Structure 1
Amino acid sequence: MTILITGGTGLVGSRLLRQFVDAGVDCRALVRPGKEVPAGATRVEGDLLDAATLQQAVEGVSAIVHLAAVFRTQNDDEIWRANLDGTKKLIAAVKAHAPQARFIMASTGLVYDANATHPGLEEDETHPTLAYPASKIAAEKELRESGLNWSILRLGFVYGDGDGHLASVPPIVARFKWHPAKTFSLIHQRDVAGAVELALTGAMDGQVVNICDDAPASLYEMARLVGSPIEASAEPLVDPWMGRMDGSKLRSFGFSPKVPTVYQASREGIL
């Protein structure tokens, strides 16, 4: 099996690529000029927005793990170009040059409506307003209607193995003026890899699946765990289900997280 990973130098992709290479998986990584990949991975220089570079990337692969995305910017046009237009071009390349390949795309739990009445379920209608989740929903639609063999993994708040993501909580709270009690479903980097491995078996073909651990945590708790406490508040929490996902469907495939809570990750020193 040869797997193409996009976003292989990003927060999630770099760790997934390293784990797969260490496990002996034949990995190909699409990277921009100047970016390197771990020894043992095949480097393919290109860009999702440059269709001419994608044929070499996808030819001969048995699966695509599409992780490339833009999130940490206030430039909405850049977000839409990368997350929707880039996905469209990748889908077109796969249809033309690797139509039998399994296409696994990472999406986000932020697609669920802020005013939901329960943790997000895969079958819920979604009407996100922010550019990042809205672009992801649009990209999901493109893949679902592509005719390819697809699966979509809606990831919770990804963290772990020194990725620094939890340390970003205080500035995120300041930027969006979020309540410290706002609670998110999380997923450790090692369990992201486990979920992708399961998807590669075909267990999730044609499915949208929430990827999250067993215990959501508040922004207040996350910040304290990394030694960067934020101000507490007793003000009422508006939209309490925003950021929360129901992981029952993932468990129905037999998945059990290796790192079930962020507190276990803290005890094991793998934040």
Structure 2
Amino acid sequence: MTVLVAGSTGFIGARLCPALEDAGHPVRAMTRHPDTYHGSGTPIRGDVADPGSLRAALDGCRAAYYLVHSLAAPDFERRDADAARNFGQAAADAGVGQIIYLGGLGDDRDQLSAHLRSRREVEGLLGTAGVPVTTLRAGIIVGHGGISWEITRQLVEHLPAMVTPRWVRTRTQPIAVDDVIRYLVGVLDLPEAIGRTFDIGGPDVLEYIDMLRRVAKIEGRPLLVVPVPLLSPRLSSLWLSLVTDVDARTGRSLVDSMVNEVLVRDPAIRELLPFEPIGYDEAVHRALGERAAARPSS
């Protein structure tokens, strides 16, 4: 079946396109700049802010992946809402039978951050025109180039000692990027997954401070962490922008989300796609290995 991937050049999309091809699916890699695309699949122009381009990109596709978000923009909530509406309507007009969306974990009973609220809103808006949406909700995805993972790695590598905010005690359930791709491919055209929402995560439930310490141990680096309760979200985001390559606006959105526990509450997907997920330490080793392989040789 012909499948469109919106967000084909991103952290997840660049891995998903070749995995879909390996599974035997013709892939359309949607990008605003098809002339400079060098990844897997057939590049096709499409912009979530341009409904006309979406209709042309989706024409003839039976399914579509939506991996787009605007976290770095100051008005990312509005942008993401408008983009989801455009994409959902274009998919319906093109006769697409399934949209697959990668969202974020988080308990709806909590006071979710703007970032996680926006992810929830997009889930609903994608389906308002009638196309069934399969949503996979993930927390921190561990893999080379993933923004949350890069924050973890860079903090450990740049600071042998750090004063940290109280969110380092928040629990999360990280997942290896290889497992995310496996789930995304697995739910494609799976009748039991159509129109459903699934939580996905790895086998380890960890506090952020545990994640930092495990990475430090794996890399053989010293790490002294001193949590302080009075470091505000604004100061936390500025701190991240100083010691990592994450800009302050994106850092603020992520920091605001780090006060929310992001845990798998419903493991139903394990029954549909039964495989043993990769543990955190192994995911870290793979991410570090991929980074080392991607660096130019001296």
TM-score normalized by the length of structure 1: 0.79
1:30 Cα deviation (Å)?
A: 1.2
- Structure-2 residue corresponding to 1:131: 114
- Structure-2 residue corresponding to 1:186: 174
**How many residues are aligned here?**
249
Higher helix share: 2
- Any conservation in 1 of the 2:143–2:284 contact (CA below 8 Å)? no
SS at match of 1:30: strand
- Any conservation in 2 of the 1:166–1:222 contact (CA below 8 Å)? no
- Structure-1 residue corresponding to 2:280: 262
Could you give the per-residue CA deviations for residues 153-192 of structure 1, whole angstroms, max 9, x where no partner exists? Answer: 1112111256464231366xx9x93432222111111111
- Any conservation in 2 of the 1:63–1:103 contact (CA below 8 Å)? yes
* Structure 1: gaps of 5 or more residues: 114-124
- Any conservation in 1 of the 2:144–2:150 contact (CA below 8 Å)? no
Could you give the per-residue CA deviations for residues 181-224 of structure 1, whole angstroms, max 9, x where no partner exists? Answer: 22211111111111112211233112111111111222223223
- Structure-1 residue corresponding to 2:243: none
1:5 Cα deviation (Å)?
A: 0.6
- Structure-2 residue corresponding to 1:58: 58
> How has the CA–CA distance of structure 1 residues 12 and 250 changed in structure 2, closer, same or farther, with 3 Å as cutoff?
same
Q: Which moved more, 1:16-25 or 1:90-99?
A: 16-25
1:59 Cα deviation (Å)?
A: 0.4
> How has the CA–CA distance of structure 1 residues 35 and 76 changed in structure 2, closer, same or farther, with 3 Å as cutoff?
farther
Q: Superposition pairs for residues 216-235 of structure 1, below 5 Å?
A: 216-224=205-213, 225=215, 227=219, 229=223, 231-233=225-227
Residue 155 of structure 1 aligns with an amino acid whose one-letter code is: A
- Structure-2 residue corresponding to 1:88: 85
Could you tell me the percent identity over the aligned residues? 20
> How has the CA–CA distance of structure 1 residues 189 and 35 changed in structure 2, closer, same or farther, with 3 Å as cutoff?
farther
> How has the CA–CA distance of structure 1 residues 29 and 203 changed in structure 2, closer, same or farther, with 3 Å as cutoff?
same
- State the superposition RMSD in angstroms: 3.1
SS at match of 2:264: coil
1:107 aligns with 2:103: yes
Q: Distance in 2 between matches of 1:245 and 1:151?
A: 16
- Any conservation in 1 of the 2:61–2:94 contact (CA below 8 Å)? no
> How has the CA–CA distance of structure 1 residues 4 and 180 changed in structure 2, closer, same or farther, with 3 Å as cutoff?
same
1:253 aligns with 2:272: yes
- Structure-2 residue corresponding to 1:3: 3
User: Which of 188, 201, 212 lines up with 2:201 in the alignment?
Assistant: 212
- Structure-2 residue corresponding to 1:118: none
> How has the CA–CA distance of structure 1 residues 267 and 32 changed in structure 2, closer, same or farther, with 3 Å as cutoff?
closer
> How has the CA–CA distance of structure 1 residues 185 and 247 changed in structure 2, closer, same or farther, with 3 Å as cutoff?
farther
Q: Distance in 1 between matches of 2:34 and 2:62?
A: 26
Residue 69 of structure 2 aligns with an amino acid whose one-letter code is: A
Residue 106 of structure 1 aligns with an amino acid whose one-letter code is: L
- Structure-1 residue corresponding to 2:235: none
User: Which of 184, 187, 205 lines up with 1:199 in the alignment?
Assistant: 187
> How has the CA–CA distance of structure 1 residues 232 and 243 changed in structure 2, closer, same or farther, with 3 Å as cutoff?
farther
> How has the CA–CA distance of structure 1 residues 162 and 51 changed in structure 2, closer, same or farther, with 3 Å as cutoff?
closer
